[in-house]
Amino acid sequence: MQIRNTVKPTLYILGFLLLIPLLVTRSNVDINAQTEQIRAYSRMHEFEYFGWSVEAVWEKLQMYSLGLPKRLSQENARGVIDQTMHLARQIRLLENQINQILADPAMQADDISMFDLFIELEQTESDYRLSASVSETIFEQQISEVLSQKQLSFSGQPIPPVLFRFSPLPKALIVSPRDVIRQDANLSLTPDLPLEAMLNIEQQITEDLDVSAYITDIGGVGTYPAMVLQSFNLEWLISTVAHEWAHNYLTLRPLGINYGTSAELRTMNETTADIVGYTVQYGLISLYYPELLPNLTTPLIELPPPTPDEEPTFDFAYEMYLTRTEVDRLLADGRIEEAEEYMEMRRLFFWENGYRIRKLNQAYFAFHSAYVNAPSTGETGQTGAAGLDPVGPAVWQLFENSTSLKSFLQQVAWITSFEQLEARLATP
């Protein structure tokens, strides 16, 4: 089976590349003018998107001019994907090895051994970049095929075309008030920001502005081409690329245009993108990587219940849900310091159970509550950092009520408030 690549899709892609100034948006975009006060602490560390976009566009133009993927059989394409995942894993192992040597005072690393490790890492990263460039185009065409099967294309080409690049991602600086969980700022910082600098920025903003601050890693950014974190997890990569394509799709429509207008609309955008990611992930793996289906775990796949003999496991999502609901209760009562002490206690509890959360505060919840990865379950509603927030479950309900992914997107993309979403759900 040949991977499809025609002149017409290439022309679509080139046309959209010319529109990049209109499409350079982010999953974590922030349009709050009041963030200028916060930028006094972050400006020297902020990520510069324009330069990254220019480099990414140039690489995409070069790759499409070669036309290499269209000459690959499905078997050869899978080989390239496997090689890329292997190299990504090797990079992670080498980085961990180097970091362990540098961080452990008990280990005496001689200059020659460290030099050899750095040389090996540099060569592996070079090999990865070449392989990843081809893999990106393969993934783009495979995801385009799935979107076409779901009738989300014009003349066989999704609009906008699926374009992304593996890349180190900026970190997100999140700021929330202390008395309520609300994302007031989301600024992008450089990917290589040291931990000491992160802690310093968080502390200065918290102390000087009396707010909650949190700097976190992210998995993808809805620029155009989209930015996706280098990873060796194939299932996660597919879902993330489709997630970021959904943001590009919504950018051309009212829901995406109004991304930063309110917390409700941000959650609606992110939940919609998650639904697209999970749906495309399942469709693509079924089509191209069926051997992975037995191990695929997403909300769209019904999993068998655990057997009675299985040991009970730590339920992170449910414990985080309990944490969020208690924090909301304390803040609603005006007990801010008590809520912050409680969050630190719970952070230590998560740490003891294997979840290495560096900081758990209002800003943490303000960021993570926008991502509702599953529909509501049980009498308590959804689980996770969103607590009892009804917005994400309502988006999932609209999806479940829809006849197809296309029908769902055609409805949700034109909604500009939670009230409109509720009204849509109330309509027979």
**Range in 28-37, 90-99, 344-353 the model is least confident about:** 28-37
The band of 248, judged by pLDDT with boundaries at 50, 70 and 90, is very high
pLDDT score, position 307: 47
Is 379 a member of any domain?
no
**Mean pLDDT over residues 339-357, rounded?**
93
Instruction: Tell me: cis bond preceding 225? Omega within 30 of 0 counts.
Output: yes
Is 258 a member of any domain?
no
Query: DSSP of 139-180, one letter per residue?
Result: HHHHHHHHHHHTT--BTTB-SS---EEE-PPPEEEEEE-SSS
β-pair type (212-216, 185-189): unpaired
pLDDT score, position 14: 53
| Contact call for residues 241 and 226 (beta carbons, < 8 A) | yes
**Mean pLDDT over residues 107-119, rounded?**
69
Sheet holding 185-189, edge to edge: 185-189, 171-176, 212-216
Nearest to 268 by CA among 419, 423, 418, 425: 418
Residue pLDDT, tens place only, 396-411: 999 999 999 999 999 9
Write the single-letter amino acid at 127: D
Domain containing 107: what range? 7-170+220-252
Residue pLDDT, tens place only, 30-79: 445 567 889 999 999 999 888 888 888 888 877 776 666 667 788 888 89
Q: At what angle do helices 234-251 and 263-288 cross, to 10 degrees?
A: 130
Nearest to 225 by CA among 28, 47, 54, 9: 54
Is 283 a member of any domain?
no
Is 11 a member of any domain?
yes
Is 407 a member of any domain?
no
Q: What is the DSSP letter of 46?
A: B
Percent of the chain having pLDDT more than 90? 51
* Strongest mean pLDDT among 68-77, 148-157, 237-246, 370-379: 237-246
Is 302 a member of any domain?
no
What total of structural domains would you count in the chain?
Answer: 1
Residue 6 has pLDDT above 70, yes or no: no
375: left (phi over 0), alpha (psi -120 to 50) or beta: beta
Is 375 a member of any domain?
no
Average pLDDT, the chain: 83
Burial letters 267-296, b for 16+ CB under 10 A, else e? bbbbbbbbbbbbbbbbbbbeebbeeeeeeb
For the chain, give percent helix, strand, coil, nearest 5.
60, 5, 35
Rounded to two decimals, the pTM is: 0.81
Is 297 a member of any domain?
no
